[in-house]
């Protein structure tokens, strides 16, 4: 008799505890910062090329697009002697 009473009391307690707890998490809209972070995380997972990634990232962050690439200032000619910090290279 005590086992049946204890089992029914335990079952009733667990049912009441389940009904008392909130069934859904707090539903609130995301802040602008949270939305931006989620979008950046999704962008990182997309596997885009370097140029596409930086284009989309600039759009999300609202920054002007920067062009990435090679310029004429960084090129070197092997036949031309260049002096760097007092030594020839």
Q: What are phi and psi of 37, to 5 degrees?
A: -65, -40
Residues 6+ apart with CB under 8 A from 39: 60
Tallying the residues shown for the chain, one arrives at: 89
How confident is the model at residue 41, as a pLDDT? 92
pLDDT at residue 84 is higher than 70: no
How confident is the model at residue 15, as a pLDDT? 80
How confident is the model at residue 73, as a pLDDT? 61
How confident is the model at residue 11, as a pLDDT? 85
Which of 4-8, 18-22, 81-85 has the largest mean confidence?
A: 4-8
pTM over 0.75: no
The percent of residues in the chain predicted with pLDDT above 90, rounded, is 8
pLDDT at residue 66 is higher than 70: no
Element at 68 (helix H, strand E): none
* Nearest alpha-carbon partner for 40 in 8, 63, 16, 22: 63
Q: Give CA–CA dist 64/40, Å, rounded.
A: 17
pLDDT at residue 56 is higher than 60: yes
């Amino acid at each position: 008799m005590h086992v049946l009473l204890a089992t029914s009391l335990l079952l009733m307690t667990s049912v009441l505890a389940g009904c008392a707890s909130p069934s859904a998490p707090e539903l609130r809209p995301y802040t602008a910062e949270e939305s931006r972070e989620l979008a950046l995380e999704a962008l990182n997972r997309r596997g885009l090329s370097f140029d596409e990634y930086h284009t989309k990232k600039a759009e999300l962050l609202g920054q002007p697009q920067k062009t990435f690439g090679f310029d004429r200032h960084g090129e070197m000619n092997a036949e031309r002697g260049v002096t760097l910090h007092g030594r020839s290279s």
